[in-house]
Amino acid sequence: MSADGALTASARVEALPRIAEAPRRAPVDWGAVAVHALLLLCVAVIAFPLYYAFVISTQTVEEVIARPPMLSPSGHMFENYVEAWTRAHMARLLWNSAIVAVVSAVGKIAISVLSAFAIVYFDFRGKAVAFWMIFVTLMLPVEVRIMSTYEVIGDLGWLNSYAGLTVPLMASATATFLFRQFYLTVPNELVEAAQLDGVGPLRFLWSFLLPLSWANIAALFVVLFIYGWNQYLWPLMITNTEAMRVVVIGLQDLIPRTGTHIPEWNVMMAAAMMALLPPVAVILFMQRWFVKGLIESEK
Amino acid sequence: MEGRFPGRILPYALLFPSIAVIAVFLLVPAVEALRLSFFEVSPFTGHGTFVGLANFGELVSSEIYRHSLKVTLLFAVGVVALGLAGSLAVAVLASLRLPGFGVYRAVLLWPYALSPAVAGTIWALLFDPSTGPVTVLLRAVTGLSPNWMMDGTYALAVTVVAATWKMLGFNIVFFLAGLQAVPQELREAAQVDGAGAVRVFWRITFPILSPVTFFLFVMNSLYAFFEVFGLIDVMTQGGPGGATEILVYRLYQDAFISARWGIASAQSILLFVMVGVLTLLQFRLAGRRVVYA
């Protein structure tokens, strides 16, 4: 959902012009120091929950329930992570999540590149209908159409399958919309020159358009990967076997419910750390494109 | 028109995958949901009886549904207001030219990548009624020790905090990016003319920032309405006593726990309408009220 919201909304936000840096004046700028202090405080507030979760993942159960809470890491990280890995069948869960995230992201990008290409670079009968059909569906989150989509998946025999987990996530036109916007900015001379040289449409797409839109593809990939990895309600409904479970669902078995379990928050948090690492790594490695891709749609 | 390729079959072949996926997983389910919303479906036989608008009538008059709507609105207002006001304040105070923006971007942005369910898990730990550090801190400061697994109002507040946290860094980063578009000269000129900081903010900074604010408003609203299912499921499961039962959670309950497909479909349709309104708002207002720098 977030992916879709982000993409459609971003398409409306025009490129923000960069203003030249104001010349620096005073040698010690106390205002800047205060600003940095403020931002560091925010960073600390935002980071503390994750830090604490990590700390817990290194403690024994006794340390977890100690009062006052211990705020520094302990030395039991390794056994907690091993315990979480084996108890939650982590390898399988992570593998499934990776498949869902990568397949849904790559699949959606691929079909959107093709349909946007058809819409921008061809004239054909029924184009208006196709256009309308795609754009009227711009934003219908999975959460909203969940039951009847579930029925469709059941009819197709796709329950407990990767197809059922991934293909419905591709059903949205936001990426098509974004690629269309980008193709419209590509100068006509490029197409004409290519046509003069006898370059066919598919060759043009592959050798000219795709290399040009690499940054957009990267930004979309980040958004869609995170979207796919973090799906919760959809996998919860259409999978009920251990083998097909994704990691954000599998984690929940480890949550200690007050009163009924030993509060093994340490094992839980070790598992959570493993579950959150891949999407966080993706956004950190690709953050430059991510912000750019969302704010400046026309690039 | 120039710049086009000739082709009879190729464009259809290129469009086919998108159209097929959209038709099968979007249009068909949407029509089916609309159809089912007029039926009363038996949970045992799966047999449907046409009931007209009765499902909608039942929803509108249902205490539980109205309560759920109220919870959703409170939740969304909380997340959007807290998230936007907080991050705007931070971003504006920080909006001197920042050499280290790239670094801050990295350390602020990552919670966006967290799944709401994982975020919920972490906050459940922080607010753990006996050992959570936030609980301990609250107890030390206020002397109270409310238990959010029992106290509905507190539970709603806790889930709002958890949900807002996940979007906070994202909001700050986008506000900071937007603030780079505010000409420093303009603000300085206004200050020279004797405008106070507050006036400069409302008259200059805020209007120029409006596209970003609007973008974030829509993002955060959609997030608060639809994406927090995992967070609610992990933290409170809609409880205690329905205090955190947002609409999507109610829908899930009726559809997959009670198997009341007709009434659940009617809820889907109402949600459709809400998303539609948000989308329209986004497309309508984005073009008009918003000042582009």
Per-residue pLDDT, averaged over A170-195, amounts to: 84
Q: What is the structure's pLDDT at B269?
A: 87
More confident residue, B25 or A136: B25
Say if B288 is an interface residue toward chain A (CB within 8 Å): no
- Say how far apart CA B231 and CA B154 lie, in whole Å: 16
pLDDT at A297 over 50: no
Which range among A12-21, A108-117, B127-136, B179-188 shows the weakest confidence by mean pLDDT? A12-21
Phi, psi of B101, rounded to the nearest 5 degrees: -55, -40
> Which band of pLDDT confidence, cut at 50, 70 and 90, is reported for residue B198?
confident
Indicate the range of A163-177, A262-276, B255-269, B278-292 predicted with least confidence. Answer: B278-292
Yes or no, beta carbons of A201 and B15 under 8 Å apart: no
Mutate which of B5, B41, B158, B278 to test chain A, going by most A C-beta atoms within 10 A? B5
Q: Would you say residue B51 has pLDDT above 80? A: yes
Contact flag A201-B227 (C-beta cutoff 8 Å)? no
Q: Give the 3-state secondary structure of residue A160.
A: coil
Q: Over 50: is that where the pLDDT of A60 sits?
A: yes
Determine the 3-state secondary structure of B46 from DSSP: coil
* CB proximity B61 to A under 8 Å: no
pLDDT higher than 50, residue A15: no
Q: What is the pLDDT of residue B74?
A: 93
Distance from CA of A279 to the nearest CA of B (A): 5
pLDDT of residue B95: 66
Q: Say whether residue B145 is in contact with chain A using an 8 A CB cutoff.
A: no
Domain boundaries, chain B: 58-289
Interface mutation vs chain A, best among B121, B130, B138, B141, most A CBs within 10 Å: B121
Is B229's Cβ below 8 Å from some Cβ in A? yes
Q: Do A124 and B211 touch (CB under 8 A)?
A: no
Helix (H) or strand (E) holding B39: strand B39-41
pLDDT band at A281 (very low <50, low <70, confident <90, very high): very high
Distances (CA, A) of A193 to A196, A199, A200: 5, 9, 12
- Mean per-residue pLDDT, A167-186: 83
B4: pLDDT strictly greater than 90: no
Residue B214 has pLDDT above 60, yes or no: yes
Asked if residue A68 has a cis previous peptide bond (ω within 30° of 0), the answer is yes
pLDDT band at B283 (very low <50, low <70, confident <90, very high): low
Residue B33, token pair as written in the block: 């949901």
pLDDT of residue A5: 45
Contacts of B180 in chain A (CB under 8 A): 16, 18-19
Q: How far is CA A126 from CA A91, B8, B17, B140, in A?
A: 47, 12, 16, 68
Instruction: Please tell me which of A27-41, A158-172, B46-60, B143-157 the model is most confident about, judged by mean pLDDT.
Output: A158-172
* Mean pLDDT (whole number) for B211-220: 83
Alpha-carbon distance B194 to nearest alpha carbon in chain A (angstroms): 20
C-alpha closest to that of A235 among A161, A156, A296:
A161
pLDDT in the model for residue A299 = 28
Q: Give the chain A residue whose CA is nearest to the CA of B263.
A: A147
For chain A, say whether B151 makes contact (Cβ under 8 Å): no
Q: Which chain B residues are closer than 8 Å to A293 by Cβ?
A: none
Instruction: With CA atoms as reference, report the closest residue to B109 among A53, A117, A286.
Output: A286
pLDDT tens-digit series, residues A222-251: 889 998 999 988 898 889 888 899 998 888
Minimum mean pLDDT range among A18-27, A113-122, B256-265:
A18-27
**Residue written as token pair 């030390």:** B140
pLDDT at B121 over 50: yes
Q: Quick check: A106 contacting B, CB < 8 Å?
A: no
Between B74 and A33, whose confidence is greater? Answer: B74
Report, as an integer, the average pLDDT of A19-35.
61
**pLDDT at position A216 over 80:** yes
Helices (H) and strands (E) in chain A, counts: 16, 0
Query: Residue B50's pLDDT band (boundaries 50, 70, 90)?
Result: confident
pLDDT of residue B286: 55
Band the pLDDT of B284: cuts 50, 70, 90: low
Average pLDDT over residues B38-59: 80
Q: Tell me, what's the pLDDT at A140?
A: 67
Distance to chain B for A205, nearest Cα, Å: 11
Chain A contact for B111 (CB, 8 A cutoff): yes
Q: Chain-centre distance of CA B153, in angstroms? A: 20
pLDDT of residue B101: 64
CA dihedral sign, ordered A111, A295, B85, B98: positive
Alpha carbons A27 and B272: distance in angstroms, whole number: 57
Band of the pLDDT at B291, cuts 50, 70, 90? Answer: very low
Side chain identity at residue B225, one-letter code: F
The reported pLDDT for the residue numbered B102 is 66
Over residues B246-274, the pLDDT tens digits come to 988 988 888 888 878 888 888 888 888 88
CATH of domain B58-289: 1.10.3720.10
- Would you say residue A106 has pLDDT above 90? yes
Whole-number Å distance between alpha carbons of A38 and A42: 6
- Which pLDDT does position B3 carry in this prediction? 61
pLDDT at site B59: 86
The mean per-residue pLDDT over the stretch B106-116 comes to 84
Chain A: give the shortest CA distance to residue B81, in Å: 17
Check whether B110 has a pLDDT greater than 90.
no
With contacts defined as CB-CB under 8 Å, which chain A residues touch B185? 22
Which range has the worst mean pLDDT, A107-121, A133-147, B78-92? A133-147
Tokens of residue B245, six digits: 């039962």
Please answer yes or no on whether A49 and B177 come within 8 Å at the CB atom.
no
Which is higher by pLDDT, B186 or B24? Answer: B24
